[in-house]
Amino acid sequence: MPRLLVFGTGSVGGLYTYIIDRGGGEATCVCRSNYAEVKAHGIRIESSILGNCIANPHVVRSVDEALSSSQQPFDFVVNGLGIEERYHRAFPGAPIISGVAYAPTTQTSPGVFLHSEMERLHLGLYDTDRSSTAIKVLESFVSLIRRGGGTAILENDIQIERWRKIVANGAINPICALSRCRDGQLMKVAPLAFDLLKKVMLEIVAVAEAEGYGHVVSPETVEAQLARSLGRPFPGVQPSMMADALNGRQLEVEAIVGRIVEIGRSKQVEIPRLETLFVLLQGLDTALQIGVDGEI
């Protein structure tokens, strides 16, 4: 039985903890704001795809507690967004699996998750290590997700799928977080919202092209993503950054927007809207963490 240490049980973390549990994995979850509820009642999923179900992982407050209560090492460590490069430098010999998830999930109350529309997880090796050991580790994790009923797709170049997702995610996530509106809500109350979303997405396409992924995303990709947003039932989705903002949690600014801005500026791509969103998100994130009257 593979043993996994899962950092955080937010929307995506909660859903895949259940899938890991159903696939035969033994999950230990480091929980924060929902610790008491998950400890007492487990992770409860209300899914139009997976049904209504409960997972009961081992729940701890910290990594130290996880290590002190464990009798054996963990086979996998599952963490959040934008951590690959940092861990690659710290553990150059360890295979690092990078994932791109499509699974609209909202934590409706502590430890309770509403999931709908789709579930798909693209997985690939982060670096260029294609040793038999690294491939075996990747295939083992893919098999675990599939046994749990998840849709795991093995990718040779995971960055291709990352650019495909970030075209929409890099626009919708920050704009919804800043406005506190879901995408459908915002486009209804603000007539210029559709045009803003489209122009931000096109800036992301320009950055992708400068980075060598112009064959992956294009203006046609933008049109498809916008059509998807318009086709959702009102009021639309609540993206992860909006959920974090509403709950006063730290925002994934660098992972979702910062890296795109960094690449765009290094390639001298004109991205004024992305830069504006980045600055505003940094300010919002700081205010959420220290309060508007606090000292930086």
Say what the pLDDT of residue 32 is: 87
Q: What is the pTM of this model?
A: 0.85
What distance in Å separates the CA atoms of residue 116 and residue 113, rounded to the nearest whole number? Answer: 10
Say what the pLDDT of residue 120 is: 96
Strands of the sheet containing 76-78, edge to edge, are 58-60, 26-30, 3-7, 76-78
What distance in Å separates the CA atoms of residue 180 and residue 242, rounded to the nearest whole number? Answer: 6
Q: ∠ CA 137-143-145 to the nearest 5 degrees?
A: 110
pLDDT at 291 over 70: no
Say what the pLDDT of residue 10 is: 85
Say what the pLDDT of residue 84 is: 85
The CA-based dihedral angle spanning residues 53, 57, 63, 65, taken in that order and rounded to the nearest 10 degrees: 140
Q: By the 8 A CB rule, do 123 and 99 touch?
A: yes
Question: pLDDT for 17-43, tens place per residue?
Answer: 999 999 999 999 999 889 999 999 999
- Exposure string over 37-46, b if 16+ CB within 10 A, otherwise e: bbbeebbbbb
Domains within the chain, CATH numbers bracketed = 3-154 (3.40.50.720), 158-290 (1.10.1040.10)
pLDDT at 296 over 70: no
Residue that wins the pLDDT comparison between 178 and 126:
178
What is the rounded average pLDDT of the residues 245-260?
Answer: 91
What distance in Å separates the CA atoms of residue 157 and residue 123, rounded to the nearest whole number? Answer: 9
